[in-house]
Structure 1
Amino acid sequence: MKRLAIVRQKYNPAGGAERIVSAIIRQLRGRDGIQPVLINRNWEALEGVEAVSVKPFYLGSVWRDWGFAGAARRAWRSLGADLVQSHERIPGSHVYRADDGVHAAWLAARVRQQGWRARVSIWFNPYHHYMLRAERRMYRHPDFRAVICISEMVKQDVIRHAGIPADRCEVIHNGVDSEHFRPDAARAGRDELRGQLGIPADAPVLVYVGSGFARKGAAQAIRAIVPHREARLVLVGGDKQLDRYRRQAQSLGVADRVYFQGTQRDVRAYYGIADGFILPSVYEPFGLVVTEAMACGLPVLTSTRCGAGELVGEDETGWLAEPDDDAAWQRNVARWLAARERWPTMGERARLRVLPLTEAAMVSRMLQLFERLLGAA
């Protein structure tokens, strides 16, 4: 029996990466030949899964991540793990699953968006220096064997910024639970929830799902509906600067058409009240919410810097735009509105596109990688 250590620091029920870790562990549970062990700082209990919690004392984000990295290494060595897959940038792990993409690519995206202000902020923030150093050390460590890239976009970022050869980059898209995220289940409470929010039954609704509004483009989503008086926008997710976005909606004259719903444990019902999904991310390594929305039968408007955007067929299942191109986002909302009679057909195509991306298929491909690496070892 081979022991596979899976490392992820903390659990956030609204986080896509955390839901993927849980899916991986569920799929691995009970399989012959490989025993998963979750190494974490804080995680909800998973029945029947061995877990090791390491909670070193810390003050500040740099010490937090540095301390967890050291504690996690000691834990997997103590366990005698045959293979270590980390979802954190920890030197010494064998496989890095790049749920969070490439930190250097994210910083480059920030600089493109904010210019010199971002450069100054990044330079004086020790956490970014730590993350870049940890990323470099992880990729250059003699124990490093492969990186799981959750999109082709991430693969190209890894090659460009980290200098990793393409044959060590394995593209494995995130799996989506298309049985849970299906149109009929999502829309079961459509009329009731629309009524609670005060949204007319025939109003065209875009839904945005994601916490961390700056990176995921909430401001762009709000700007995108400004010229389209019939369009409504429902924002699901939390942000420390939430009042700023409320003020933005007010100043743009769309406060009565933007609905802030906060973090929701189960977002399926919000896909159900919508007629389209919008995510204008500045940098999104994959965007599990994009595939969840597609599985629920929604046309998708997302950005060229969203990994899951490579699953979107232009004018077939949705539309793409550069993150900071205001005019393009407003045009795409216009195209979405003009395609109203085609929404059902586009939704069907979107669902068919993601049906092969099952959690089982994702884990099967990961197991093939693990077996190859274990065999080579």
Structure 2
Amino acid sequence: MNNGAPEFMIKLAIVRQKYRPDGGAERFVASALSALSQQNAEQPQQKAEQQQLDITVLTRQWQGIKNPSFHAEVCNPFKWGRVSRERGFARAVQKHFSSFDIVQSHERIPGCTIYRAGDGVHKCWLEHRSRITSEAQAKRMKNDRFHRYVMDAEKQMFEHPKLKAVICNSQMVKEEVCREFAIKPEIVHVIYNSVNQEKFNPALKQAEGLVVREALGIEADATAMLFVGSGFERKGLAATLEAIAVTKAHLIVVGKDKQEEKYQQQARDLGCAERVHFMGMQSDSSRFYGAADGFILPTIYDPFPNVILEAMASGLGVITSSSCGGAEIIEEGCNGYFCDALDIPTLSSAINAFTDKGHAESLGMMARETIKPFTSERLTNQLLSLYSQILNT
């Protein structure tokens, strides 16, 4: 019942070029859709004017679950390269923008109402990446047609008059956005991702984790660090291997990379191959969190990877880099450690800290406490609050 109050349909679009259920951005989209669906369900109970939401996902490829609360519209123009792919999709969805009251984009597309900066700032990523490439490669990247397109699209989008809000998943990204673009800081919001604390929990160490350690031949008194992430260059696997090599710790690597063999060879060259276990892509990584004493991800640049939340929820202390948004919830020596992504001696020292099983357990307990507020309920409430602000302006 709407108690006789008039209803107003708010048409909202959520833009994600390729929707994969296992992606970090997609999990955030799922949370957003859940929040919006909840708002739809609760609105009829209000006695004030009704504002019902009609939700559409604009995408090239939809692999999501069918839900009566929203529908997907495929925009899949022909593409023949990276620039064509990005520009073609942007132009295709921009044609639909005028049909919606609010457009929340997870892609760099000028003219959207809300942008979720899940990939951070492209210029900042290139600057960090130049640290692990030659001077010639860094120069080529800076002048590359694709990278120039992305940076230009970012600038147009962040400085577009129709942009009413930016969602960042870390304070680090908010500071970068405010520093690099002419944008009002008050429209840039930090909303952290949530983590499933029932699936990822310290009890994993008592069951699945023991099975994994036994299968990999990792002794009970040995130290095992876990690395989870695909795209090994950006995630910092090379530095991780260098740091592991000068310790006695094992390293479990979960994720995929086209150049995995290169990293396997690096482990052999460093003399630690027998302690490095490449597990490839896993549909469910939870048991590997249970097998580890600590988590390491010295990423070259990452706004805030979900794997850090998963590790901490699983009761693991975390080692990460200062160029990772996740570092802002790390208290040095309390729930983990962070340092420069290429500081091998400090990374090795942090790994060695986990050889003290009592200390590793203490780090994990504090990590679990730190992560307790990162619930889906909090994320939903923050999203609903932001949507409410946008709808009422």
TM-score, normalisation: structure 1: 0.94
Deviates more, 1:13-22 or 1:145-154: 13-22
Tell me if the contact between 2:35 and 2:383 (Cα under 8 Å) persists in the aligned partners. Answer: no
Tell me if the contact between 2:254 and 2:281 (Cα under 8 Å) persists in the aligned partners. Answer: yes
1:56 matched to 2:80? The reply is no
Tell me if the contact between 1:17 and 1:99 (Cα under 8 Å) persists in the aligned partners. Answer: yes
Corresponding residue to 1:20 among 28, 43, 68: 28
- Shift in Å, 1:66: 0.7
Corresponding residue to 1:300 among 314, 318, 338: 318
- Shift in Å, 1:21: 1.7
The superposition leaves residues 111-156 of structure 1 with CA deviations (integer Å, 9 ceiling, x where unpaired) of: 2333513422313421101100100111122211121111000011
1:157 matched to 2:165? The reply is no
State the structure with more CA Rg.
Answer: 2
Provide the residue aligned with 1:324 in structure 2. 342
Is the partner of 1:323 in helix, strand or coil? coil
Corresponding residue to 1:267 among 285, 302, 311: 285
Q: How far apart, in 2, do the equivalents of 1:57 and 1:336 lie?
A: 51
Tell me if the contact between 1:105 and 1:161 (Cα under 8 Å) persists in the aligned partners. Answer: no
Query: Closer, same or farther in 2 for the Cα pair 1:264/1:12, shift >3 Å?
Result: farther
The AA in structure 2 aligned to 1:256 is: E
Q: How far apart, in 1, do the equivalents of 2:53 and 2:199 lie?
A: 27
The AA in structure 1 aligned to 2:312 is: M
- Shift in Å, 1:185: 4.2
Q: How far apart, in 2, do the equivalents of 1:6 and 1:101 lie?
A: 18
The superposition leaves residues 299-357 of structure 1 with CA deviations (integer Å, 9 ceiling, x where unpaired) of: 1001101101111111000001101111111111122224x212222212111111111
The AA in structure 1 aligned to 2:15 is: V
1:313 matched to 2:331? The reply is yes
The Cα RMSD (Å) is 1.6
Query: Closer, same or farther in 2 for the Cα pair 1:36/1:355, shift >3 Å?
Result: farther
Q: How far apart, in 2, do the equivalents of 1:348 and 1:224 lie?
A: 24
- Shift in Å, 1:34: 3.1
The superposition leaves residues 68-98 of structure 1 with CA deviations (integer Å, 9 ceiling, x where unpaired) of: 1111222343xx3211111100001111100
The alignment of Structure 1 onto Structure 2 pairs a total of residues equal to 372
The AA in structure 2 aligned to 1:54 is: C
- Shift in Å, 1:41: 1.2
Give unmatched runs, 5+ long, in structure 2: 1-8, 41-51
Provide the residue aligned with 1:5 in structure 2. 13
Q: How far apart, in 1, do the equivalents of 2:388 and 2:31 lie?
A: 19
Give unmatched runs, 5+ long, in structure 1: none
- Shift in Å, 1:203: 2.0
Provide the residue aligned with 2:154 in structure 1. 135
Identity within the alignment, %? 40
The AA in structure 1 aligned to 2:362 is: T
- Shift in Å, 1:371: 1.3
Provide the residue aligned with 2:142 in structure 1. 123
- Shift in Å, 1:30: 4.3
Provide the residue aligned with 2:360 in structure 1. 343
Tell me if the contact between 1:249 and 1:255 (Cα under 8 Å) persists in the aligned partners. Answer: yes
Deviates more, 1:2-11 or 1:117-126: 117-126
Q: How far apart, in 2, do the equivalents of 1:203 and 1:234 lie?
A: 13
Query: Closer, same or farther in 2 for the Cα pair 1:120/1:298, shift >3 Å?
Result: same
The AA in structure 1 aligned to 2:108 is: R
TM-score, normalisation: structure 2: 0.90
Deviates more, 1:156-165 or 1:181-190: 181-190
- Shift in Å, 1:67: 0.7
Tell me if the contact between 1:97 and 1:148 (Cα under 8 Å) persists in the aligned partners. Answer: yes
The AA in structure 1 aligned to 2:285 is: V
Q: How far apart, in 2, do the equivalents of 1:365 and 1:24 lie?
A: 10
